[in-house]
Amino acid sequence: MGTLLDFLIWVRVKLSVYFSILIHFCCNLENILSIKALKGFKDILPDEVGLWQFIEQTARDIFHRYGFEEIKVPILEKTELFVRTIGASTDIVEKEMYTFADRNGSSITMRPEGTASVIRSYIENGLYVRGSVQRLYTIGPMFRHERPQKGRMRQFHQMSVEALGSNSARIDTEVMAMAWQILQEIGLQASLEINSLGCTACRPSFKEALQGFLQVRIQNLCEDCQRRSSTNPLRVLDCKSEHCQAQYVSAPSITDHLCGACSDHFEDVKQTLSLLAVPYAVNAKMVRGLDYYTRTTFELLTTELGAQGAIGAGGRYDGLVRQLGGPEVPGIGFAMGMERLVMLLSQKDKIETRPVLDLFLITLGETAYEKGFILLQMLRSQGLRVMMDHEGRSMKNQMKQADRQNAGFALILGENELVNREAVLKDMHSGEQELVELTPAFEDWAGAVLAKIKQLQ
Ligand code: ATP
Ligand code: MG
């Protein structure tokens, strides 16, 4: 009797242990499943990645044609770098930066844009000794704490370029022509708007005229503009409020305040853009949101993305390198937002991306599978993109996989084929089939398959 009771207690204890493990597992499972990406942060899934690669490869190719070299800079920098370059009273620094205390208490920031880091690296690594003009580009994620919406993310990606070391208006034109060419070659329509913000010699007189204009209307302006009229008056021209914009129609124009040198520079930019047949329009109200700009500024705009119409923007920043402790080196750059380019392209006709796989290797039977596994490696070493099934699926099922993977060809290797020393190569698009002779020397098989594929292509 005692042993039966012991047994029942034992069963009860065991059951309650199993039950609590089950409950724990279920609760955790729920936790695991409920973890989602952060708001404004997005996965770029395999189905979308083809477009990203297409844009990036086209841009890289164009950057190289224009003599730009890639530079990779860190995502985290000292907060001070961005405050000093972008400007303390800009939207980015005032409200958009991801800033944290590092473990040692120092303030660090996830880069909200690329220029500041590239200039820091240019100075720190003395890149100016490589040659008088350095053409650099970088591609990667940026971080801004903005309200997420269509075309506006908290982690987004930019391709940005910087040309450092020349004052020539021709560099401005080359850089804008390059941005224009990228849009042309990826197949997007946009308009190019340009302006000149003058230099330290002429901008103060414009600032003064603008402040005078704003002072008279200060009560009629939005809160942001009221504040900015004293902290950063140029930025009011960028205000999104229609009410403010209606009043700025009669605001003084920067182009009337440019000094001789800036005016000549701007004329040169316009003339050389026309020379290269790059269409543009002057927008004297475009001021850009960052403090470091001087002279030429520009934006690439589309009407197809609603409020998020800017797909790229940039300008000259002649005092920035000096301001960060480097030599007196002028510069110009721009950044294009990848998300907006991808969105625009995905609204258009589907872009043909190359087949994901060159070949799917179908094997039937143990011997064919073992041979096939080594052949798979040999074909990959020859440069082919090849896959095979490891789950012992039927021929029909493997063929379906080949189809799903968008394979260009399927190679069928079965016991009979091994006996007859030949495999069947099927063109998955035309359905055409050819026999590949399998020589006694196994190491020649990959070459024979490759030769047959070339013959069929
Ligand atoms: P916007 O006026 O749309 O806020 P911006 O002036 O802040 O743009 P820049 O700092 O000049 O933009 O960045 C250049 C490009 O980077 C923009 O033209 C845009 O394509 C892209 N971009 C900027 N912020 C974002 C974001 N939060 N999400 C996605 N793309 C962005
Ligand atoms: Mg912005």
Encode pLDDT of 293-341 as tens digits: 899 999 999 988 777 789 999 999 999 999 999 999 999 999 999 999 9
Encode pLDDT of 395-422 as tens digits: 999 999 999 999 999 999 999 999 999 9
Encode pLDDT of 151-203 as tens digits: 999 999 999 999 999 999 999 999 999 999 999 999 998 999 999 999 999 99
Confidence of residue 20 (pLDDT cuts 50, 70, 90): low
| Residues in contact with 288: Cβ distance below 8 Å, sequence separation at least 6, in sequence order | 197, 238, 297, 299, 313, 315
Give the number of the atom of ligand 1 that is nearest the alpha carbon of residue 288.
Answer: 6
Query: How far is it, in rounded angstroms, from Cα 19 to Cα 97?
Result: 47
Encode pLDDT of 418-437 as tens digits: 999 999 999 999 999 999 99
Confidence at residue 251, expressed as pLDDT on a 0 to 100 scale: 94
Assess whether pLDDT exceeds 90 at residue 283.
yes
Closest Cα to atom 16 of ligand 1: 337
Query: How far is it, in rounded angstroms, from Cα 191 to Cα 303?
Result: 9
Q: What is the pTM of this model?
A: 0.86
Closest Cα to atom 29 of ligand 1: 152
Encode pLDDT of 112-146 as tens digits: 999 999 999 999 999 999 989 999 999 999 999 99
Going from the Cα of 58 to the center of ligand 2, the distance in angstroms, rounded, reads: 25
Give the number of the atom of ligand 1 that is nearest the alpha carbon of residue 154.
Answer: 27
Contact 386, 360 (CB under 8 A): yes
Burial class (CB in 10 A: 0-12, 13-18, 19+), 430: exposed
Closest CA to 59 of 202, 173, 153, 183: 183
DSSP classification of residue 202: T
Confidence of residue 364 (pLDDT cuts 50, 70, 90): very high
114 lines ligand 1 (CB under 6 A): no
Give the number of the atom of ligand 1 that is nearest the alpha carbon of residue 310.
Answer: 18
Give the number of the atom of ligand 1 that is nearest the alpha carbon of residue 91.
Answer: 7
Q: What share of the chain is helix, strand, coil (3-state, %, to 5)?
A: 50, 20, 30
270 lines ligand 1 (CB under 6 A): no
Query: How far is it, in rounded angstroms, from Cα 357 to Cα 410?
Result: 10
Closest CA to 324 of 164, 161, 196, 145: 164
Assess whether pLDDT exceeds 90 at residue 8.
no
DSSP E strand boundaries for 235-372: 281-282, 294-301, 310-316, 331-337, 357-363
